[in-house]
Structure 1
């Protein structure tokens, strides 16, 4: 298992479940939309600080996010 790819897939799942585009998530989390796409594909390693920004922008907690992590 590649940890960053799994984190990216989980971000994409939550984003899609909430009906949010990559562009909208990028704006909400103050990140570039290309960066969100690369994180979701596991091409970029997200820091805990930026992951926290993304998770908050999705309206969930760290606990909720990682409860669904395999």
Structure 2
């Protein structure tokens, strides 16, 4: 009927284990690729108040006097 090889075509449990490891590797590779393609945002990476103040001054949104006064208030 099956030529003495059984259901797994001669590979038995070793073949099942190899196939399982193969698919685990494929899934892990896909997860790794997707996580690198769409990196998660870091919640704690927001700039502090002084950094925001410096950026506003650099863009020209506030004058030098406003910057100095706000900086002295923050420090």
Per the TM superposition, whether the score is higher than 0.5 is no
Which of structures 1 and 2 has the bigger CA Rg?
A: 2
Q: Which TM class, normalised by the smaller chain length?
A: under 0.3
TM-score of the two chains, using structure 2 as the length reference: 0.25
Higher relative contact order (CA 8 A, sep 6+): 1
TM-score of the two chains, using structure 1 as the length reference: 0.26
